[in-house]
Each structure stands twice: as structure tokens, then as C-alpha cells.
Chains A and B, each alone.
Chain A
């Protein structure tokens, strides 16, 4: 056996203590839903992991009512420093149960354990730690003195980073003093249920966070509920547009974090080996299920062949397979539906005349898999250069001058992120000014930090998550003479809210 066929090194699932069925998490307790029960499967094996309750509009109503009660009676009256204590506690519990969360996330989502262990879960903890620190410093958030929380936040999150997106939504909402009803994606509810256990462990007052599971209809019932003050959505542009229409004309505040078709721009003076790594990380991280993925590679024409050659050589070393194996680089596609979409768009690309190259990976018999793929000879008019594929598929285009690079990079309805690879600092700064993208990475890609705001231009959405900016999405200004935030802490908070 060749050394490079590393012996199997699977992370054990024995650390998990999963129930066979999960209910909804409402008012601090797990309760049965009134809808049908659906199965959540492992996309790598298609085996059933657990059964999940589906929330009906009635269940959503109960959840929103619980959140409203908790807001009125407990959370909005609690001092910022006390809210911070709960958030710190949650962060520490996430760290304590990090391995368990990483295994569960890999199992349910299909992404490699290397990523859940080294990226997703550490970032989840970081997000709670970061916003815990903000909870008693809201007057510095930039919305004026004595800012006020909004009330009940309805949050709907996607399946690509299930737990991380949950943290991005919940941490700033709670720090700012709001209560939450959140709906995880249908295919990835598992870690939200483990997170609910963590909330119980942390003794978070009942009703401050409520989790309702189910399909899109559950989400719709949530965002259209009359008694929510704020809607936050991360997902596709199509659904985002629908939510914007539904929320229009109401009192609800809205932030949307939607799709992307990011340009990753490589100049001929780029640090070549690191650029190759960055391109790989930009589009093949998390099987390309990343809204800010660098899915359009813009290469300066004089280094195109070299970059593509090196890229192919590098992709040939990626290891696809069991997401729980610690040496796996590329895991499973999250669902059969997503796999179908990636296949269809790739076939379209081939049909339009782009040249397809796919890494030689052994595809497992069961599960949903798509080997890393590069399209060359792509022109700006091709569908694969315009539509978000949300899979491990890279479209390579060329440019000749910096001006052309900017024009092509901005020539998209999206504007979430972009990347620049050059050793020339002045060019880097000039380009950052002209790229219409919420995040621009220079000589790196897909780096996240809770202190850094994240969000889009154009059809990639509005509002920012992360940093001080992320906090303002959950706050509103009050008059200069508004009373200061309450400082007393109710005793026995969970019980109090439950009554």
C-alpha cells in the first residue's frame, strides 16, 4: 500500500449520545411538534441519523409567544453584563463539547471533520465569546446612547454551515437584548438540537432561544408571524427576495445574506504556491457550499496555463471520502437535490463549450458526491460564470489589465466577496476600492473572524453580520434622554419566564 493512501483514521462517533427522535425546543424544553416527522440522513451514507419534528404554524405561534414572554419579562430587563455571562457560558460549553459538535456536524452535513473540528466549531465559540463582550458595551455600538433591542428576532439559516450560521444569528441577537426563534435548514437540524442541550446546560432563561425545525413552510410561518420584530435570513437569493416581499410594508426589520459568485483575481506577480492554495480553499472548502466561495477564477492571461496546470496537480492530491476520516479534504454534497443542481449546471457549462476537467477521485457507492471540477475556456456570458453553482466547481476566466479585472469581477448581479492575489501592495489597495463586494480578501481567502463584518452588495443581500456592524442589525437608536438600560437581574430567571 502506498504511503499516500493513508490508513483509515476515522473520528469515532461513540462520543455522540443522540436520541432517535428530536422535538422542537420551545420555552426551554423539548416538545413534540404537531406536524409530520421527517428523517435527517447522513449525506455520505444515506443512513438515517434521527427523526426530527416538523413545526406547524401553530407550533411557530407558541414559539414566538414564548420568545415574546421571555423578552418582556426577563431578557430585555436583564443587565448587559448578566446577558454577557450567559453568552460566555454558552461559548465555554461549546468548547467543552467541541469534539461532539464537530462529529455531529460532519455526520449530518457531510463536510469533513477536519473542517468542523478546525473551522466551524472553533468559530462558533469565537462568535459567542466576541458578542458576550459586547453585551454590556452597547452604547459604543454606533447607534447612539442607550440603544434599544428590537424584540423577537425570527431567524432562518442555511445548511452549509449549520452550527456556525446559528451562532452568527443568535450571538449578536442575544447580546443586544433580543430573544430568538430560529429555524435550522431541513437537512441539517441535528447540531441545533445539540445546541439546545447546551442552552439547557447553560441555564439560559426559558424562551430566550427557541428552535423550530421543518421545511421552508415552517420558515415562512416564522418570518410572516405578526409578533416578530426582526427577520434575519441567510440562504438563496430566490428565497431572500420572497422574504423581502413578505416583510415589505410591515414594522419588521430585515437583514439578508444571500448568494454570491465571487471573483478570485490572480495577477502574474502573485505568490504562486500560496495563490494555488487560496484558489483551492476558495472554491473547494466545504465542497464549494459557501456563499462567498471564489467560484470565478480571474487569471491574468500570461499565467493562465501555469495556474491551471498547477491547480490540476494540486487538486489531484485532494482526498475525497468519509467525512469522519481525519484525512478527508472533500466530503459529501449535502443533499441529492443539491447534487442534481450541481450536475445540471456543470452539464450546461459543457454544453456551452467550456472545457471540463475533473479530478480523478474514487466515488463511494452510497451517498452524494461530486469530484472537484474545473472549467476552462469559460467566457463571461456562460451560465457557469454567472449563476451560483454552490458546489465544487470552478470557472476559469482570463483578463489582461487591472481595469479589465475590475470590470469582469464586478460584472455580476452578486457582490458578496472577492479575492486578490498580488505581491504589489499599491495595486491591492487600489483594487479593494473598486471591487463591489462586501468582503475582499487579499492574498488569502475564506478567512472569518467575529470582529470582521460580513455581508453583500447588490443581490447578495443587505445588512452586515459580525463585528460592531453585526450588532447594529439588532439594535435601534433611542432618544438622548431615554432611560438607561435596566441593571437589576431577576432571580430564578428560567422559572420566572416559564410561568
Chain B
């Protein structure tokens, strides 16, 4: 069954179309609880099987470049300063000064109050709503806990968008989700999506962070993924990086399966972003394999796939240098930021 609908249909209307009838708390609950369950052992086994793929030579070279191209280079610290953001931006533009063939990353990801500094530092490299150049992603909605009133979350979002953010990484209200108030979570995502709209009618892309480490069960992750997509997420994202465990391969696989099912149902392509905890090239390549074998390799573009990471890029650069020169260098041959 494929549900056809006009592109850009309001998420609420789209959800009504999919669920039928009125969009009530009960209807949402019936829909989400009706999703088929997830067998944890089987899911983890499948993720482990995908991890055994052996990616060598030309495939490895392509994979390493794709990791960089789809990376959201991130700094989300209380200690962030304009200076730290400037140096992050420099790294984003030129990840490896010793090799000009190294691609730039997809985006820099910062707190809302740092958006202005990131935009300024990027200058002509800033994508500014286009697909060329580097995007500025801002975490919003009282990141990472999400414990604030809706008014504050919306103000947080609007401010970041006004300052020039191209992408908003919002967090869902995990408390509401875990207590079964799916309607609250849905409405908040819809409201934040509206707050992403700019004065000229264009809108910042919305990534919805589920914080899977707090949702705990795979069944919850599956329901939350559907809920976020129903409510209009452009991307679904695993984690804030502030809660352990952050991204894991089984969780990412499960979310990709939801994205695949949504695509089967509607023809719509939703993006995916695992964030936190992915530090080595080897690990990151496993994620690429999982994407390619679950939703298809057309997902491996910055429009549909991102890594949220800070230290991953340097390990990829070391691997890239090794492939180029034939020998390993060391951490002093890549820049700290």
C-alpha cells in the first residue's frame, strides 16, 4: 500500500490521512502500539552480521570520504566560546590541510547562541539554505534534557533560525513519551517544525532527537521513530551525546528499518543521524554498510545521512593518510580541532 499525498503537506494532515479519522491521543496510541514488535536478540544479531562486512581498497576509500562528507562536526560544551567555534569551523572547511582532496564536512553543530559565530566564521563557505557549502546546525528546545515549557522551546528554536541556522536538532519530551502522552510529543514536534519557518517562507531542516538511551527498549525506539516521522521530522536522530548509551548499531539499524518502511508506505525519504559514541573509522564504516543494506545506498548523501561526531573525523583522516601513503602516521599528524 502506498499513500500518495502532495509534497509539503502539513504533518498533521498527513498523519490524519495515514491514521484515518481524527488525530486523537487514542488514534495515535492505537497506531503506535499496533506496530510489530522488535525482538532484541534478532535485531542485535542482524547488526552484528552487518558488522562483519569486509570493506577494502576502493570501497574503503569511498567510505572514508563519505564519512567526512556526511559528518556534523560537533561541539556542545558548556565551555564553548566564539574562539572554539571558529576553530571548529576551520576544521570543518579544511579537515586535512596536508591533503587538499579531503572533502569538507556536511555541517557544524553548535548550541543556539553560537550560531551567529559559526555563520560569521564560515563566511562564503556557509550553505545558507542551499545545498552547496557547509550547513550550520543548532541544537534547540532546551537541549539536552528538553525540560522547559513549549514557549521556551519555540523561542529557542526561532532565535537559532533567525541567527542563520540551516538545521535544528530538537529533542523530544522523553518524559511525555514514556508516560504514554504521545499526543504531547507529536504536538511539540509539529510546533517546533512551524518555528523553523523563516520570514521568507523557507524553513530550517528539522532533526528530531529521540534520546534512545533514555527510551531504553527497542519497541520504544520504534514507536518514537514513527511518531517523529508522523509529526514531520526531516531527520530522526538517536541521541544528544549527553546520555549513555548514545548511538549504537542495533538502534540505528532499527531506526533505518522504520525509515525504509515509511518509504515503502509513502515514497518519502526521511534522513537518519546517529550521534555520540562513534569514534573509529571501522565503526563508522559499519554504519555505512548498515545504511546501504537496509534503506539503500542512495541514502548515503548529506541530504539523508549524517554522523553526529567530534573525534571521528580525525580517525578517518588518519585512515585516509594511511591509504594514500601506505603507512600509519599518528595523532600529531592531524589537527586537534
List residues of A whose CB falls within 8 A of some B CB: 1-9, 114, 118, 269-274, 277-278, 317, 326-327, 423, 443-444
Looking at the complex, which one of B38, B53, B257 makes contact with A6 (CB distance below 8 Å)? B53
Contact B53 A327 (CB under 8 A): yes
Interface pair A3/B56, CB less than 8 Å apart = no
CA distance A125 to B42 in the complex (A): 24
Complex partner residue of A3 from B38, B57, B288, CB under 8 angstroms? B288
Known contacts: A3-B62, A327-B53. The answer to whether A423 contacts B37 by CB under 8 A is yes
Residues of A within 8 A of B297 (CB): 2-4
The answer to whether A4 touches B293, judged by C-beta atoms less than 8 angstroms apart, is yes
User: Which partner residue on chain A sits nearest B66 by CB separation?
Assistant: A3
Tell me whether A444 and B60 are in contact (CB under 8 A): no
Give the contacting residue for B63; candidates A3, A317, A326; CB below 8 A.
A3
Minimal Cβ-Cβ distance residue in A for B53: A327
Q: Which residues of B contact A4 (CB under 8 A)?
A: 292-293, 297
A interface, by DSSP: helix, strand, loop or mixed?
A: loop
Among A5, A274, A327, A444, the most chain B Cβ lie within 10 Å of the Cβ of A274
Report the minimal beta-carbon distance from B44 to chain A, rounded to whole angstroms.
10
Chain B residues within an 8 Å CB radius of A270: 36
Q: In the complex, are the beta carbons of A317 and B293 less than 8 A apart?
A: yes
Chain A residue contacts of B59, Cβ below 8 A: 1, 3, 5-7
Given contacts A271-B38, A273-B36, A278-B42, 18 further A-B contacts (CB under 8 A): A3-B292, A3-B300, A4-B293, A4-B297, A6-B54, A6-B59, A7-B55, A7-B60, A118-B52, A272-B36, A273-B38, A273-B43, A273-B254, A274-B38, A274-B39, A274-B46, A317-B293, A327-B54
A-B contact pairs, 26 of them (CB 8 A): A1-B59, A2-B297, A3-B63, A3-B288, A4-B293, A5-B59, A6-B53, A6-B54, A7-B56, A7-B60, A8-B56, A9-B54, A9-B56, A114-B52, A269-B36, A270-B36, A271-B37, A273-B46, A274-B38, A274-B39, A274-B41, A317-B293, A326-B52, A326-B53, A443-B39, A443-B42
Residues on B with C-beta less than 8 A from A9 are 54-56
Contacting A at CB under 8 A, from B41-93, are: 41-43, 45-46, 52-60, 62-63, 66
A271 B56 Cβ-Cβ under 8 A: no
B104 to chain A minimum Cβ distance, whole angstroms, is 20
**Minimum CB–CB distance for B107 against chain A, Å:** 22
Min CB distance, A119 to chain B, in Å? 11
A278 to B62, CA, bound (A): 32
Alpha-carbon distance between A304 and B296 when the two chains are bound, in angstroms: 24
Docked Cα-Cα span, A5 to B63, in Å, equals: 12
Check B62 against A269 for contact (C-beta < 8 Å). Answer: no
A residues less than 8 Å from B288 (CB atoms):
3
- What residues of chain B lie closer than 8 Å to A274, measured between beta carbons? 38-39, 41-43, 46
Q: What separation, in Å, do the CA atoms of A108 and B60 have in the docked complex? A: 30
Q: What is the distance, in angstroms, from A274's C-beta to the closest C-beta of chain B?
A: 3
Residue of A nearest to B291 (CB): A3
User: How far in angstroms is the closest Cβ of chain B from A106?
Assistant: 14
- CB pair A443–B56 under 8 Å, yes or no, is no
Give the complex CA separation of A299 and B291 in angstroms: 28
| Bound-complex Cα distance A118 to B297 (A) | 26
Q: Give the CA-CA distance A308 to B20 in the complex, in Å.
A: 26
Bound together, the chains give a CA A423 to CA B39 distance in angstroms of 8
A163 to B20, CA, bound (A): 57
Residues 265-306 of chain B: 1 if any A CB is under 8 Å from the residue's CB, otherwise 0? 000000000000000000000001000110001001000000
In the assembled complex, the CB of A306 is this many whole angstroms from the nearest CB of chain B, namely 9
* CB-defined contacts of B55 to chain A, threshold 8 Å: 6-7, 9
A9 to B208, CA, bound (A): 37
A166 to B67, CA, bound (A): 45
Instruction: State the CA gap A488–B336 with chains docked (Å).
Output: 67
CA distance A444 to B288 in the complex (A): 26
Which 5 pairs of residues, A with B, have the shortest CB-CB distance? Answer: A274-B42, A9-B54, A326-B54, A271-B39, A274-B39
- Chain A residue nearest to B42 (CB atoms) is A274
A1-B62 Cα distance, complex, nearest whole Å: 10
Give Cα A6 to B293, complex, Å: 11
The CA-CA distance from A269 to B46 in the complex, in Å, is: 20
CB–CB B62/A277 < 8 A: no
Contacts of B63 in A (CB 8 A): 3
Which chain A residue lies CB-closest to B48?
A: A118
User: Which of B42, B58, B257 is A7 in contact with, Cβ under 8 Å?
Assistant: B58
Residues of B within 8 A of A1 (CB): 58-59
How far does the Cβ of B197 sit from chain A's closest Cβ, in whole Å? 35
Nearest Cβ in chain A — how far from B147, in angstroms? 33
Residue in B66, B257, B288 with the greatest tally of chain A CB atoms within 10 Å: B257
CB-contacts of B244-264 with A (<8 A) = 254, 257
Nearest-neighbour CB distance to chain A for B111, whole angstroms, equals 34
Contacts of B36 in A (CB 8 A): 269-273, 423
Please give me the residue from chain A that is nearest to B46 by CB atom.
Answer: A277
Distance between Cα atoms of A5 and B55 in the complex (Å): 10
A4 and B295 CA atoms in complex are apart in Å by: 12
A297 to chain B: closest CB distance in Å?
Answer: 16
Contact assessment for B41 and A444 in the assembled complex, using a CB-CB cutoff below 8 Å: yes
Return chain A residues, CB-CB under 8 Å to B43.
273-274
Interfacial chain A residues near B53, Cβ < 8 Å: 6, 326-327
Tell me which of A2, A8, A272, A443 contacts B41 (CB under 8 A).
A443
- Asked if B300 and A7 sit within 8 Å, CB to CB, the answer is no
- B39: chain A residues at CB < 8 Å are 271, 274, 423, 443
Residues of B with C-beta under 8 A to A269: 36-37
A446 vs chain B, min Cβ distance (A): 11
Residue among A4, A5, A114 with max Cβ neighbours from chain B (10 Å): A4
Q: What residues of chain A lie closer than 8 Å to B37, measured between beta carbons?
A: 269, 271, 423
Instruction: List the B side residues contacting A118 at CB < 8 Å.
Output: 52
User: A114 to B293, alpha carbons, bound, how many Å?
Assistant: 17
Instruction: Determine the residue in chain B with the shortest Cβ distance to A3.
Output: B297
**Are B42 and A271 in touch, CB under 8 angstroms?**
yes
- B52: nearest residue on chain A (CB-CB)? A114
CB of B88 to closest CB in A, whole Å: 28
The residues of A that contact B66 with a CB separation of less than 8 Å are: 3
